[in-house]
């Protein structure tokens, strides 16, 4: 009896549960490039090329290991354009009597998948995705009965449960769970981040690049130069280079931004983790080993581990706990359309222009650019959450709904009213000035909050606090800014509101 084993574009892991009991003489592995997935948002060209090339290389890897692989290409004239259509065609083609698949990362796809069994008339087994530290059921158990879900407590539990960065007595290595306070240093002048690993496209990637150039010419983003790793071996090389060159410096300047330095000391492995080319358990253990052997300090390693064992697992847990419907809330009643400069980069706000330009070039921006520049602007300006979410989902190579939605809806936009974050990550231009070199080269003056040429982030920040006072002023973590605001004269407050309004009216 032939089993058809479907592997999705973000499941490129040989140990994926859908392949666990493959009968090599009989079963067929199906990978399919489908228009529904390349088109549910207008993905960055580089993101599409990365995923399709990684899928084609993965198919080759499985064939090399002796599996029978059926890989349906996007330009196959018979391609139906959807997972359901391609599974149905493949079942008929191979006479399969059963379908096995690992649960997808997105609610949208899972909902569709749940109809397949009745549509196909054969068993469809949907297996757990075991590539995470914390299963969906484990997270639900942790969340049960808690009033507020806070990453910090979840993360400590994960550290203990998986024995990561603990000393001999089972206490946190270095004497604390969290070294974030040491990780917010601005960049000293003249510091030089290392050159980053880049992988020249091989023939398979070149073919994909040509396909993407033809089919997705109108999509956002530069397709070339293309330097992503598209195989497990190259992804591991990129990660090893990070361990050697970047991890020792990773913590100190984790929140810094610098013109012309899109990667700084960041790992840039999120695309590889999220499609399955790297295993989160391997990277966490390798980072912990770098601390144990004295190659990196605790603030660097703990900061890195927190992102993967803590934050990444936490947002996935929240996503599955709250879907469907997590994205429906709009706690701050934000309704403004997404400004065109999110796509064009054409704005006099230098920080935003830099973040968008780097996003266009690399399908990547680091977390402070995403959170404190483009995310912060959308929060302060009251951009409709669904429009902001669709943008993040489209433009970043690592963006899949399970990770993008909680990060954007909950963390950046506070649209869930504080379910995921205890306060909005709202900041004025002062923060951006402290953490970057953007303001010096900007047309606006970061030292002023009102008057011609004053920094829009400043005006919008105070306007945001006034506009949302009813919801936010009761939040104890917002007490400081509201106290500062209370010292403004009524005239100054009125002027800032009027100037914020006239700035918002210029957005198109």
Instruction: Determine the Cα angle at 458 with ends 456 and 459, to 5°.
Output: 65
Residues 385-404 that bind ligand DLZ (CB under 6 A): 400
Q: Nearer Cβ to ligand SF4, position 309 or 455?
A: 455
**Residue 349 makes contact with ligand DLZ by CB under 6 A:** no
Residues 76-115 interacting with ligand DLZ (rule: CB under 6 A): 104-106, 109
What is the nearest approach in angstroms of ligand DLZ to the Cβ of residue 492? 48
Distance of CA 423 to the CA centre of its chain: 20
Stretch that binds ligand SF4, among 172-180, 427-435, 463-471, 487-495 (CB under 6 A): 427-435
Min separation Cβ 304 and ligand DLZ, Å? 25
Q: Which of 6, 28, 315, 439 binds ligand SF4 (CB under 6 A)?
A: 439
Choose which of 3, 4, 5, 8 interacts with ligand DLZ (CB under 6 A): 8
71 beta partners? 31
Of 279-287, 331-339, 349-357, 475-483, which part binds ligand SF4 (CB under 6 A)? Answer: 349-357
- Residues in the interface with ligand SF4 (CB under 6 A) total 14
Size of the site for ligand DLZ (CB under 6 A): 16
Give me the sign of the Cα torsion angle 294, 154, 319, 380: negative
Strand (E) or helix (H) holding 72: strand 68-72
Single out the residue of 107, 105, 100, 102 nearest to residue 125, CA to CA.
100
Closest CA to 242 of 274, 266, 276: 266
Contact pattern from residue 450 through residue 479 relative to ligand SF4, giving x for each residue in contact according to CB under 6 A and a dash for the rest: -----xxx----------------------
CB proximity list for 475: less than 8 A, separation 6 or greater = 418, 422, 423
- Binding site partner of 8, from ligand SF4, ligand DLZ, none, Cβ cut-off 5-8 A by kind: ligand DLZ
Q: φ, ψ for residue 127 (rounded to 5)? A: -95, 160
Query: Which entry of ligand DLZ, ligand SF4, none binds 438, CB below 5 to 8 A by partner kind?
Result: ligand SF4
Nearer to ligand DLZ, 103 or 433 (CB): 103
Length of the chain in terms of residues written: 508
Q: Interface with ligand SF4 includes 442 (CB under 6 A)?
A: yes
Nearer to ligand SF4, 212 or 349 (CB): 349
| 104/193 with CB nearer ligand DLZ | 104
Please confirm whether the linkage preceding 324 is cis (ω < 30° from 0).
yes
Residue corresponding to tokens 């709202």:
426
Q: Which two tokens stand for residue 158?
A: 């994960």
- Contact status: 10 vs ligand DLZ (CB under 6 A): yes
CA dihedral angle for residue 483, residue 485, residue 486, residue 491, rounded to 10 degrees = 170
Among 19, 28, 37, 369, binds ligand DLZ (CB under 6 A): 37
Distance of CA 41 to the CA centre of its chain: 15
Residue 442 binding target from ligand DLZ, ligand SF4, none, CB below 5 to 8 Å by type: ligand SF4
CB nearer ligand SF4, residue 301 or residue 442: 442
Our CA angle for 482, 486, 489, nearest 5°, is 145
Q: Taken in order 334, 371, 479, 311, is the CA torsion positive or negative? A: positive
CB of 132 closer than 8 Å to CB of 313: yes
**Within 73-202, where are the H helices?**
83-94, 107-113, 116-120, 136-143, 151-162
CB of 327 to ligand SF4, least distance (A): 28
Binds ligand SF4 (CB under 6 A): choice among 429, 460, 481, 500:
429
Minimum CB distance to ligand SF4 smaller for 277 or for 353: 353
Helix, strand, coil percentages, rounded to 5, for the chain: 50, 5, 40
Side-chain-facing half-sphere of 237: CA atoms under 13 Å: 12
Radius of gyration of the chain from Cα atoms? 24
When the beta carbons of 9 and 410 are compared against ligand DLZ, the nearer one is: 9
- The CB-of-320 to ligand DLZ minimum distance in angstroms stands at 12
Query: Hey, how many other C-beta atoms are within 10 angstroms of the C-beta on 331?
Result: 19
Residue 444 touching ligand SF4 (CB under 6 A) = yes
Q: What's the sign of the alpha-carbon dihedral 128, 322, 390, 80? A: positive
Asked if 48 is part of the footprint of ligand SF4 (rule: CB under 6 A), the reply reads no
Q: Is position 432 an interface residue for ligand SF4 (rule: CB under 6 A)? A: yes
What is the per-residue binding string for ligand DLZ in 283-312, x denoting contact by CB under 6 A? ------------------------------
Report the partner that residue 34 touches, choosing among ligand SF4, ligand DLZ, none (CB closer than 5 to 8 A by kind): ligand DLZ
Look at residue 104 and give the partner it binds from ligand DLZ, ligand SF4, none, a contact being a CB closer than 5 to 8 Å depending on partner kind. Answer: ligand DLZ
Pure H helices in 297-449: 298-305, 313-322, 341-344, 350-362, 367-368, 376-381, 385-395, 401-405, 429-435
Where does residue 25 rank: exposed (0-12), middle (13-18), buried (19+ CB within 10 A)?
exposed
- Show the binding pattern over residues 48-67: x = contacts ligand DLZ (CB under 6 A), - = does not: x--x----------------
Q: Which residues pair with 94 in a beta bridge?
A: none
Partner from ligand SF4, ligand DLZ, none binding residue 9, C-beta < 5-8 Å depending on class: ligand DLZ
Question: Which of 87, 208, 267, 351: binder of ligand SF4 (CB under 6 A)?
Answer: 351
Which positions lie near ligand SF4, rule CB under 6 A?
A: 349-351, 429, 432-433, 438-439, 442, 444, 446, 455-457
Which positions lie near ligand DLZ, rule CB under 6 A?
A: 8-10, 32-34, 37-38, 43, 48, 51, 104-106, 109, 400
């Amino acid at each position: 009896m032939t089993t058809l084993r479907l592997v999705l574009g973000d499941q490129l892991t040989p140990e994926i549960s859908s392949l666990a009991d493959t009968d090599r003489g009989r079963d067929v592995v199906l990978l399919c490039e489908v228009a529904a997935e390349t088109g549910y948002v207008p993905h960055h060209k580089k993101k599409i090329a990365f995923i399709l090339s990684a899928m084609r290389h993965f198919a080759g890897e499985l064939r090399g290991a002796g599996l029978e692989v059926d890989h349906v290409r996007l330009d196959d004239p018979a391609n139906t354009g959807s997972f359901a259509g391609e599974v149905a065609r493949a079942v008929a083609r191979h006479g399969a009597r059963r379908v096995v698949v690992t649960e997808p990362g997105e609610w949208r796809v899972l909902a569709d998948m749940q109809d397949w069994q009745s549509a196909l008339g054969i068993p469809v087994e949907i297996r757990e995705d075991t590539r995470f530290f914390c299963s969906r059921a484990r997270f639900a158990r942790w969340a049960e009965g808690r009033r507020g879900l806070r990453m910090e407590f979840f993360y400590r539990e994960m550290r203990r449960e998986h024995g990561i960065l603990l000393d001999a007595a089972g206490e946190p290595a270095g004497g604390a769970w969290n070294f974030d306070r040491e990780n917010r240093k601005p960049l000293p002048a003249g510091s030089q981040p290392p050159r980053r690993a880049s992988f020249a496209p091989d023939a398979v990637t070149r073919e994909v690049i040509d396909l993407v150039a033809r089919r997705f010419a109108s999509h956002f983003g530069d397709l070339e130069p293309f330097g992503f790793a598209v195989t497990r071996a190259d992804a591991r090389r990129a990660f090893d280079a990070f361990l050697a060159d970047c991890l020792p410096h990773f913590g100190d300047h984790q929140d810094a931004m610098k013109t012309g330095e899109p990667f700084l000391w960041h790992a840039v492995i999120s695309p590889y983790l999220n499609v399955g080319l790297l295993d989160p358990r391997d990277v966490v253990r390798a980072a912990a080993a770098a601390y144990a052997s004295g190659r990196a300090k605790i603030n660097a390693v703990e900061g890195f581990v927190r992102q993967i064992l803590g934050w990444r697992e936490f947002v996935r847990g929240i996503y599955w706990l709250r879907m469907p419907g997590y994205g429906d809330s709009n706690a701050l009643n934000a309704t403004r359309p997404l400004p065109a400069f999110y796509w064009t980069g054409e704005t006099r706000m230098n920080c935003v222009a830099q973040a968008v330009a780097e996003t266009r070039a690399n399908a990547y921006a680091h977390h402070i650019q995403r959170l404190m520049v483009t995310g912060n602007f959308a929060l302060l300006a009251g951009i409709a959450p669904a429009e902001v979410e669709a943008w993040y989902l489209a433009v970043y190579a690592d963006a899949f709904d399970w990770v993008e939605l909680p990060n954007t809806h909950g963390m950046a936009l506070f649209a869930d009213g504080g379910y995921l974050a205890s306060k909005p990550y709202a900041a004025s231009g002062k923060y951006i000035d402290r953490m970057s070199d953007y303001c010096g080269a900007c047309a606006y003056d970061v030292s002023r909050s009102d008057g011609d040429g004053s920094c829009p982030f400043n005006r919008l920040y105070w306007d945001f606090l006034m506009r949302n006072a009813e919801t936010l002023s009761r939040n104890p973590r917002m007490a400081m800014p509201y106290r500062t605001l209370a010292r403004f004269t009524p005239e100054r407050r009125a002027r800032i509101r009027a100037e914020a309004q006239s700035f918002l009216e210029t957005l198109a």
